A and B are shown apart, each in its own frame.
Chain A
Amino acid sequence: MNKVRVAQRQGDFTNAQAFIPQQNQQHNAYNLSLLEKGRLAFLQKNWADSQLLLAKAYQTIEQENAKANIQISKGLSNASAAVSNDNAIKYQVPAYEQSMMHSYQALNYLYQGHLESALVEVRKANLVQENALIDNENEVFIAQKEMADKGIESDSLYANYPSMTEVIGTVKNGFQNAFTFYLSALLYESAGEVNDAYIDYKKALEIFPDNKYIKADVARLAKKLNIIDESIKVNPVEKSKNTSINSSSELANKLASKSGQVVILYEQGLIAEKQEVKLNLPLFTRHNDMRFFSFSLPVYQNEFQGRVSNSAPLQLQYQKQTHQSDQIVVLQSLASKQLKEQLPSIVARQAFRVVAKEQLRRKMSKEGGDIGNVLASLYSIASEKADTRSWLTLPNRIHLLKVNLPVGQHTLNLEHINGQSAINITINAERISLINLTTVGSYTGFHVANL
């Protein structure tokens, strides 16, 4: 995957795609390779291909979901994972990756002119997040219990495991993605379904309460729908401003009808790769004696994060006014939180594996003497590898910038981490113009769509 990322940073998406290993449908990371290819095709602006690839990825996820809870075939691969490592298990696409998949798919449909299909995709993304919310608490609890059953205390785990608190930041869970909600609100608004748009703007605001653009959107639609919203606190000063606009609402309406919105979604950087840490954790055996075993676990390093987290906001100069973008999602935080929530179940599986490998070693030393013993020990060390798989071509974070501009042709000068981009856009009355700007490494690209 390193080659892919290097090529992606240089903006060479064709080569990046070629570097992704070809996998057949039975491969346990087939879904992941589809996601990577779909994302690269998206960056290449090859919407039709990207749509096909992501649709295939969705299909594999659906098939996986429809399968029985206890699967014999899964049992077999898990059994092989029990004596090798977690990489032998089929890759489970986490909720944040699924919601991003549907978001890109929505954009794919949108750029091909199918707004209704794009709306279907955002509804799918919302479903993913709803289901994740239901499943999440339960799963985390069960996994922790399972880990405790295997004789590991969470205290000793978290004391040894590198802290990811900096990376995680203030994220409450590993799946609530404000970007997805915002995108869906945008699409609903452009489809004229203001009420649905309002609900999704509000959901986005719940996740990112400090984002000034989302706040403004919620307030704007609340006013349009005559909803009195307690969550948007209006300062007395602003209030008086609002009433003055109200009194001359006719003028305001006239002005509004001659302007349109520009929404810039700015994707920045690349999501980090999981690193491997080796830990010695105490394990309590059946006879209650404690022994230390070596565990390899995936982790997102805090210091690594520091290097990529230099979030530089986007700046837009327009008529001597400077507008600055606001963060709407930090995928890295979602990924880290997700990993932290998964950790107990990873550790429980590892504990199970440690026992299995220990049995293998005993058996081999009994039958093969010293050589068997050494071989088994070597195998158990060599085969210990943390599962560091994840969707790696995703951006690190996404920023949002929104301005109202008068109808007509404009050239926007955007200042970003890679320098400047001049983007020509057409503003239509009371419509949304969407700009998707991406900077990865030295690559800068954008796409403009009029909704």
Chain B
Amino acid sequence: MKNIMLITTTALSLTLIAGCAQKPIVQYGDATAVETTDINFGSTDLQKVANDMTDSLLLSPIVGTLTENSRPVVFVERIKNKTSEHIDTESITDSVSTKLLRSGKFRFVDMTRVDAVRKQLEFQNDAGMVDSSKAIQFGNQIGAQYMLYGNLSSIVKSTKDKSDVYYKFTLRLLDLKSGLVEWADETEIRKTRSKGAIGW
């Protein structure tokens, strides 16, 4: 009896020790799952903002008439970060433009890669290594007809027990020829964090 007791206690303590000295666990998760690690701008907010905006843009009747017979060329200016957090707003515009491209209704020119394109064209035309009859000539690109731009702003309030963040994301589509804003929409996010009364 004593032996059994001894064995069980040793086995128990061994499992306990093994439990304590666990290796870090690496897991795959759902990329679209709701993430609430902290109150800061996170993946869920980014996805919500991008989805809301593209849905609204694609469903709006004005855009419907714009894209009826043609695929307008758009360039993304940028999203101004007016919050009190460091947020990669380029990532939001990337998501929005990718979704719009996927819909097949719009075409995009990428202003962030103009320098790289210029370098490549210079190489093709001036380096003497590319067959000049097959080199892509300067001055054949298509200019954008519309500009997509926006703002991300926030209001943060916090007390000892509670924090509240409100984000407002505004996106606009501007006709470069007429200067008219053809479409605009905004989406809001509110997040609150209440502190636990007792914790480690």
Contacts and interface: CB of A to CB of B under 8 A. Distances in A.
Interface stretch (A117-125, A218-226, A253-261, A288-296): A117-125
A69 B83 contact: no
Given A66-B195, A120-B81, 12 more contacts: A66-B38, A66-B39, A66-B193, A67-B199, A68-B196, A68-B199, A68-B200, A69-B196, A72-B199, A123-B84, A127-B84, A135-B160
Interface in B54-87: 80-86
Contacts of A68: 195-200
23 contacts: A66-B38, A66-B39, A67-B195, A68-B195, A68-B197, A69-B160, A69-B195, A69-B198, A70-B197, A71-B199, A71-B200, A72-B200, A73-B200, A116-B80, A116-B81, A120-B81, A120-B83, A123-B84, A127-B84, A127-B156, A131-B158, A135-B159, A135-B160
B167 to A, nearest CB: 14
Interface string A33-75: 0000000000000000000000000000010001111111100
B161 interface: yes
A134 interface: yes
Nearest to A114: B86
Q: Which 7 A-B pairs have the closest CB atoms?
A: A68-B199, A123-B84, A68-B196, A70-B198, A124-B84, A72-B200, A73-B200
Contacts of B82: 119
B78 to A, nearest CB: 9
Interface size class of B (residues with CB under 8 A): 20 to 34
Interface size class of A (residues with CB under 8 A): 20 to 34
Nearest to A73: B200
Nearest to A117: B86
Contacts of B83: 120, 123
Nearest to B83: A120
Contacts of B81: 116, 120
A120 B85 CA distance: 6
Nearest to A66: B38
Contacts of B193: 66
A119 B86 CA distance: 10
Nearest to A128: B84
Contacts of A120: 81, 83-86
Interface string A96-138: 0000000000000000000011011001101100010011000
Interface string A144-159: 0000000000000000
Contacts of B85: 120
Contact of B159 (A66, A72, A119, A134): A134
Nearest to B193: A66
Interface in B156-182: 156, 158-161
Contacts of A131: 158
B65 to A, nearest CB: 35
Contacts of A127: 84, 156
A118 to B, nearest CB: 11
B62 to A, nearest CB: 30
Contacts of B197: 68-70
Nearest to A196: B82
Contacts of A62: 38
A182 to B, nearest CB: 18
Nearest to A124: B84
Nearest to B87: A120
Contacts of A135: 159-160
B36 to A, nearest CB: 12
A223 to B, nearest CB: 25
B38 A69 contact: no
Nearest to A126: B84
Nearest to A72: B200
Interface in B78-130: 80-86
Contacts of A117: 86
A193 B82 CA distance: 11
A134 B160 CA distance: 10
Nearest to A55: B86
A239 to B, nearest CB: 37
A153 B80 CA distance: 54
B98 to A, nearest CB: 23
Nearest to A125: B84
A72 B200 CA distance: 5
Contacts of B156: 127
Nearest to A120: B86
A72 B196 CA distance: 12
Q: Identify which of B81, B85, B200 gathers the most chain A CB atoms within 10 Å of its CB.
A: B200
